[in-house]
Structure 1
């Protein structure tokens, strides 16, 4: 069979756009340059020319995990993620990886996830599904060079950056071998041609705001609440809400680094839920105050709520009732309670945009 008759594999490139900012006009960013070099190295292998790399080149502050972007993730055979401090605090990058692992990997990262570590990170901050994978380390550091340096940054030198080119070739070989045994992802079928798309009047600004996908950050303290939190994230997804679990303090992480990670999530959030499950009420009180202060700086207008989960018999949370929304799910998760909070957030969005 000739190459035109074979199926192409798509590699979804997941990266923080800050890691791809060009240093000079007319010069590609480091990630774009790496992917271009990797594609060329891969073409030297059997069937390597049948591999397509897909990157979203939109600017990150305006970026959304749209249905089109999720479709690109689902259509990909593998995902190539560029791990960095900025990657770990990007909610879009985290959702890209979570969507791929859940829908392509069927809950397992396994042999479909490839990692490139651009700068040193704390593995405890990685998504649990990829924490055991071995990345290709694209940074160097030593006693004489205390500040880590990304190999080949900002522009790889064909002669001087030998380690960079070795890593590109090594990753190309691993990708080529793996893609030979993986079935390509099957794209979603297009809608039937005989069903014409109805012509609808343009939606009003009010309708567009009401249907916007919301981002909610979920804070939880104890591992005992992990199942309840996972169910909460899934149920919020059914309500067209992207829910992100706020990272805990990782081993070796400074308070300033942890705060920066949380702030990265809050900058794009429309609301926060503090889970009162097995944790003591003092933790809920402290976390609620901390979140309110951060939101005032990072996301004015965002709202907080307390999600009371099991166990049913526990002390009151002790927070002042004025302006506080409490979701009573002590006997088990209630969709009606989450819907109430989501509806409130949507109304707030409409009011802030001047449509109410």
Structure 2
């Protein structure tokens, strides 16, 4: 059950009730690809930094340890000792990322394992069966993610096939949820809107999949080659055509600025590997923008990554110490940086929810984006692209 509690413009503050707990939205989902956050971060750590939802990867877990192993261990929640909701993607993005070895047919996709090269097949039914074995809270429908720069004729054929696949996913999910030995008989299904950067294809697809009355709807196929302006235009175009009484999920996005802009356009759910991936390399998020803690300027810096931050790294350790750990190759340095970035994202979402509750999201967005525009000589301004993309609220 999805309930909107407050709105400010197109921004929504809502609750989404699941069998594994109520999710407060807007929400950032922490990416635990193989049932773990890279960087030595445990499920307990995630709970302590305010994580609401964990996202795991169907394709990777199917390869190892194998979805049959996880099924026999009682499902993904039991396997990784997670008390929070878990969303599993469908394996569809691997169809995009493994483009050199794939063959897309009506029945599904033939490709090769990135681990040992053995042949694999995944279609809508296979994806649903794997995700049912995993027992996640939310399963994503199997789709193809065409390139943002693909020809329109190809995109149209791909989207039509994705719609047919979605119907098959729904039918198979209904069947699996009715079986007596299903790990999670209340597993939800989210459909995915595709269409690259073509407004007419996106809108028509949104209308068609909305008719299926799914548990939620995602906007996919973004952050795969288009500009920020094009991504925001797609959201402006397609979100109004998705059911307003269901949660909206923007897949694989993004930077703090991307999230603020997307919330302003009515998006509820987000996921991205940026905070953990960048953290492992010493690239850290703050309200003043992005810093690289490996820079020499922090060698004698006895202050935390960000003053006032409540993450485990900032509460106790200095930039100088964390920089030393990374330079020395100590795992603790990577772990502290990942924890800080994940805390930053989760805490930002909490502040966004509070701002919408208080009717102050426009001013919060403005202050956050202006703060992240403060350059200190080392930041990657292009990463945020704020000056060009900020739509004044």
TM-score band w.r.t. shorter chain: under 0.3
If the length of structure 1 is used for normalisation, what is the TM-score?
Answer: 0.28
If the length of structure 2 is used for normalisation, what is the TM-score?
Answer: 0.26
Q: Does 1 or 2 have the higher relative contact order (CA < 8 Å, sep 6+)?
A: 2
